[in-house]
Homo-oligomer: A and B are copies of this chain.
Amino acid sequence: MSEFHKLRTYLERRATFTEEEFAFLEPLFLPRALRAGEFFQRAGDAVTHGAFVTTGCLRKYIIDAKGKEHIVQFAPENWWVGEGPGVAPGTLAQYSIDAVEDSNLLIFDTVSHQRAIEHLPAYAAGFRVGLQRDAVAKEQRIANTLSASAEDRYEEFLKQYPSIALRVPQFMLASYLGVSPETLSRIRKNRSRK
């Protein structure tokens, strides 16, 4: 059994698909394995593919003017990852994406994906719902970053993504939260004495 069944399960939870539709979708997704540390995409490359993560965990990050990494997203199993939903083919990637752990992906090229959206209403609907959820989550993250202290943001992350917090190295979590590794270490120290 290919990895596709995981995506299939994911999709079935979000919309109703016929067998023909799955048959159309399956060949668009190619399995790909990444070892921890391997890149899925490097900033500056032309964007050609996105991916659905079946096992493992990836991170998506940007490198600022001073050379510092800033993680904008973790993508564990059953998440999508890529430059962005619906970037024009051929645009250059702003983000780098690599594997935090050994991971398995189903990769798709952005052009085929666009066709899937146009041909399969159920897929388009599911995709739209995903985008909406994503927008809400991103808005909350923005509001959180604006209003909460580093410690509160850490608490919030633990509550919202407890599994991710345990899996990724602490310095990456710090990068995601927008604090230095030292600060996160001190936050954890303070929390533990309670």
Contact = CB atoms under 8 A, between A and B. Distances in A.
A128 interface: yes
A138 B136 contact: no
Contacts of A65: 147
Nearest to A71: B146
Interface in A45-99: 62, 64-65, 68, 70, 72-73, 84-87
Contacts of A138: 135, 138-139, 142
Given A64-B147, A127-B128, A128-B117, A87 B136 contact: yes
B145 A178 contact: yes
A86 to B, nearest CB: 4
Given A178-B145, A178-B146, A72 B132 contact: no
A141 to B, nearest CB: 6
Contact of A139 (B84, B86, B129, B136): B84
A131 B124 CA distance: 12
What does DSSP make chain A's interface, helix, strand, loop or mixed?
helix
A1 interface: no
Interface of A: 62, 64-65, 68, 70, 72-73, 84-87, 117, 121, 124-125, 127-129, 131-132, 134-136, 138-139, 141-143, 145-148, 175, 178
Given A72-B146, A124-B128, A131-B131, 9 more contacts: A64-B147, A70-B143, A87-B136, A124-B124, A128-B131, A131-B132, A138-B142, A142-B145, A146-B178
19 contacts: A64-B147, A65-B147, A70-B146, A73-B139, A84-B136, A84-B139, A85-B132, A86-B129, A86-B132, A87-B136, A124-B125, A127-B128, A128-B128, A131-B135, A138-B138, A141-B142, A142-B142, A145-B145, A145-B146
